[in-house]
Amino acid sequence: MSAREIIYTSQVATPPPMFSQAVKAAGLIFVSGTTPTDAKSGAFKGHTIQEQTHQVMRNISAILRSAGSSLEKVVSATVILDDGADFEGMNEEWLKWFPNKPPARQVTQLSVKIEGLKVSVACIALA
């Protein structure tokens, strides 16, 4: 059985106590569902889907860097949208972060409504 390392960076808002920012195990990094939360204010950053997707990707990038990885090593992502109508806008921003060789991806709609939250992303990357 391989060791399991909890990943944490202060560059991203502290997660609730029920989950970690990420876990590194078996040569992979499992990034928890990440929201567009600003580390300094603790509030969601951005009002449009593009702004929120941008902040989510900034947060994921910081988490992966702290684990010794990067967005280029993401192999799978799960995107959760509050509103399916935001799919096109999310994709617009997504392509800026993954212009070539994007990871495998699935998109679903959020079943629990959180005021102000438009998008959350979880991913798996190579360590």
Please list the pLDDT of the chain residue by residue as tens digits (127 residues): 569 999 999 999 998 899 999 999 999 999 999 999 999 999 999 999 999 999 999 999 999 999 999 999 999 999 999 999 999 999 999 999 999 999 999 999 988 899 999 999 999 999 9
Which tokens belong to 120? 């959350």
Residue 31 CA to residue 106 CA, distance in Å, equals 15
Encode pLDDT of 21-36 as tens digits. Answer: 999 999 999 999 999 9
Longest dimension (CA), the chain: 44
- 78/21 Cα distance (integer angstroms): 15
Query: Which pLDDT score, from 0 to 100, does residue 1 have?
Result: 53
The pLDDT assigned to 89 comes to 98
Residue 2 has a pLDDT of 67
The reported pLDDT for the residue numbered 112 is: 87
Q: Which of 69, 63, 60 is nearest to 8 (CA)?
A: 63
How far apart, in whole angstroms, are the C-alpha atoms of residue 81 and residue 49?
9
